[in-house]
Chains A and B, each alone.
Chain A
Amino acid sequence: QVQLQQSGPGLVKPSQTLSLTCDISGDSVSRTSAAWSWIRQSPSRGLEWLGRTFYMSRWYNDYAPSVKGRITINSDTSRNQFSLQLNSVTPEDTAVYYCVRGDKRFVNTFDFWGRGTMVTVSS
């Protein structure tokens, strides 16, 4: 059974960088048919896909236009994990953040979700 274990701070100051990590068990971050996404949810913005990473001879990333330029998603094959960095955060970035496994062929199909990490942006 696939499990996604999220970790990272729950409080980030405005203008700083939000960093979260997702440890994968039961699957491999480098499996070529999988893609690994970050999705967030807030009352004001609803569910919002932020981006994904996947491996296909080399690593690829796709990012949502709303956060492009501020977001980086990386993978670590030795630790079988992937991570999110979101720069220059504002209170608008306050949300529950989920790490999610998807199908590489279809960017909008997500079959396993982490439990979510509540991140608050506040001074």
Chain B
Amino acid sequence: QSALTQPASVSGSPGQSITISCTGTNSDVGGYNLVSWYQQFPGKAPKLMIYESTKRPSGVSNRFSASRSGNTASLTISGLQAEDEADYYCCSYATIDISVFGTGTKVTVL
């Protein structure tokens, strides 16, 4: 099972919106509406930001939203803030009962 493809880096100015893509195959992203997204700061464990493709856990800002279309999932950060600067990873359910992560995207706030 290959890793899902994400852009290595995405940047934006404070207040702007950015979108991170996550591309897989029919055996993972495209086959199931089960993508999760994680935020990770250097030296820390990842934090769940989105689950079941579009749902936010309690406590996660509504500036974070996600969608899925075909084999590509997307995470959008609206009203970008300096505190959003981190690495972001997508993760999909894959056939059969396994989990596959994306390659990761470094978000830089200019």
Contact partner of B36 (CB less than 8 A), chosen from A64, A65, A110, is: A110
Q: How large is the interface on A (under 10, 10 to 19, 20 to 34, 35 or more residues)?
A: 20 to 34
Residues of B close to A114: CB separation below 8 A? 45
Which residues of A does B touch, CB under 8 Å? 37, 46-49, 62-66, 98, 103, 106-111, 113-116
Given contact pairs A108-B93, A111-B57, A62 touches B98 in the complex (Cβ within 8 A): yes
Q: A106-B93, A107-B97, A109-B34 are in contact. List 5 more A-B contacts (CB 8 A).
A: A46-B101, A62-B97, A65-B1, A106-B52, A108-B99
Q: B45: which A residues are within 8 A, CB to CB?
A: 98, 113-116
Using CB atoms and an 8 Å cutoff, list the residues of chain B in contact with chain A. 1, 3, 34-36, 38, 45-48, 51-52, 57, 89, 91-93, 97-104
What residues of chain A lie closer than 8 Å to B100, measured between beta carbons? 49, 108
Please list the 9 inter-chain residue pairs (A to B) with the smallest Cβ-Cβ separation, ordered nearest first: A113-B45, A49-B99, A47-B101, A108-B99, A109-B51, A108-B91, A62-B97, A107-B99, A108-B93
A37's nearest neighbour on chain B, judged by CB, is B99
- B98 neighbours in A (Cβ, 8 Å): 49, 62-65, 107
